Structure 1
C-alpha cells in the first residue's frame, strides 16, 4: 500500500464562483472611470467658462448707463470714462474709470457699478454753484467747497456774485464768503445780490435796494442771519451784524 503524497493541496474554484467577482470588479471599474470622466468634464467646463468670462466679449460691456448728469451730457461722460465696448466686465478697472470721470471739473462725486450681463453704470453728482466770481475771462462758478469749476460768459441767474480777488478753496476770503452763503436761510437768500471779502474776517453782503450788511467772519452765520432778518424790518441802508449781540442799523 503506497503512502499518501504530502504537500500543499490546491483547491480549484469552479468557474461559476469566479464570474461574479469578475463582474463586481468591472462594475467598480466603470464607476471609477465615470467619476473621472465627470471630474474631467467639470474641470473643462470651469476652464471654458472662466475663459469666456475673462477673455471674451461673452460677458463684455454692451452699455454704459449714465445717471444724474444735468449740465454735462451722457456722451461727454462716456467719452471721458473711456470704457471699451466688449471689454470683459469682470476685468474692468473700476478705479481707473472713477478717477477719469471724477477729474471732470463739474463732477462733485461719481460711483461706478458693474451690472450683469453687460452694463457699467455711472452715478454722477454734479457741482452746484453757490456763487460766481467775475474775472477777465467771464463768470467763474464756485461750489459749496469754494472750488472754481466752470466759466460762463454771463452771470448765472439766481446765483449771487462773489467779489473775490482769486477764488480758491485755500483762500481765507473764499472760504469765509462761501461759508456765509452756505448757511444763509432760504428766506434771506433772495435778498442777497453779492458777497464780498478780502480776508476771512470782513465779509460784506450787498442786499437788494442798495442795502449793505456788514457780516465780519463766517462764524455764527445762522445767528447773524436771524438778527439781520429782524433788522431788515427797520429803515436803513447799513446793517452791522458782525457782533450779533450789538447789531446796529444806520
Structure 2
C-alpha cells in the first residue's frame, strides 16, 4: 500500500528546509547584532567621554593639598579611562618634592584614584634660607621656617642621597630605637665611617659606620645607663665609656 507522503517526497524535504533556513538567518542576524553591539560599546568606551574621567580622588595626602596633586596629574576631564596612561600620571605626580611614592588606579565608570605617600622627615639641616627637611633616603626635599620638634640636626658636607655621610646618618637613624632617637639633637659625619650622635644632655655617642647598626643600638642601650660623657660603640663587641 502506497502512503500519501511517499507520493510527494520532494515536498516533505522542502518543508523541512524552510525552518532550517529561518534558523540560520536568525542566528546570522543575532551574531551580526552581537558584533555591532560589541563594536558600539567599544567605541563608546574608547573614543567617547561616556566612560571618561569625571572625578579625580586624592587619598593619603596629609600636607599636600589635593588640588596640587590634581594639577600635577594634569588629567583632562572626559579622557576615556581605558586610554588614560596611568604611568604618565604617576610620573607627573611623583615630581612633587614632598611625594615619596604614588599609585594611580581607574574605577569605572569615571573615577581616577591617586594614592599618595608623603615623605617623612628624619632630620633637619639649618640654613640661612630656612630649615631644610631630610627624609629617610637622605633627600633634602623641603624648606620650612621653623624647626619641627623632635628632629635632630644633620651635620654633613652636603645632604644628598648620593653623599656617603648622609646615607650613613639616615641609615643609623632608621636603626636607632625610638627611645634613643627621642634624645638626639644632632647626628654628624664627614666620611660616612665616622658618625657621631649628640644627645640632649650633651653626651656624645661615637657610632662609626652604619655597619652592624642593629647590634650597636642593642649594645648602646645598657651602656647609656653608665655615667660618662663619650660612649664608643664603633666596635660593637668592645664598647667603651669615657669621661
TM-score by length of 2: 0.89
- In the alignment, structure 1 residue 205 sits paired with structure 2 residue 197: yes
Gaps of 5+ in 2: none
Cα deviations across residues 120-169 of structure 1 (Å, max 9, x unaligned)? 11121111111111223222111111111111122122111101221011
- In the alignment, structure 1 residue 35 sits paired with structure 2 residue 52: no
Written as runs of structure 1 = structure 2, the 5 A alignment for 1:176-215 is 176-215=168-207
Whole-angstrom CA distance in 1 between matches of 2:165 and 2:9: 105
Q: Which position in structure 1 is the counterpart of 2:91?
A: 99
Aligned residues: 238
Q: Any conservation in 2 of the 1:215–1:240 contact (CA below 8 Å)?
A: yes
| Structure-2 change in CA distance of 1:14 and 1:185 (3 Å) | closer
Counterpart of 1:64 (choices 52, 56, 60) is 56
Larger radius of gyration: 1
Q: Which position in structure 2 is the counterpart of 1:169?
A: 161
Whole-angstrom CA distance in 1 between matches of 2:35 and 2:158: 65
Q: Which position in structure 2 is the counterpart of 1:158?
A: 150
- In the alignment, structure 1 residue 217 sits paired with structure 2 residue 214: no
TM-score by length of 1: 0.87
Written as runs of structure 1 = structure 2, the 5 A alignment for 1:223-242 is 223-242=215-234
Gaps of 5+ in 1: 1-12
Q: Any conservation in 2 of the 1:134–1:163 contact (CA below 8 Å)?
A: no
Q: Secondary structure at the match of 2:182?
A: helix
More deviation, 47-56/57-66:
57-66
Report deviation, 1:58. 1.4
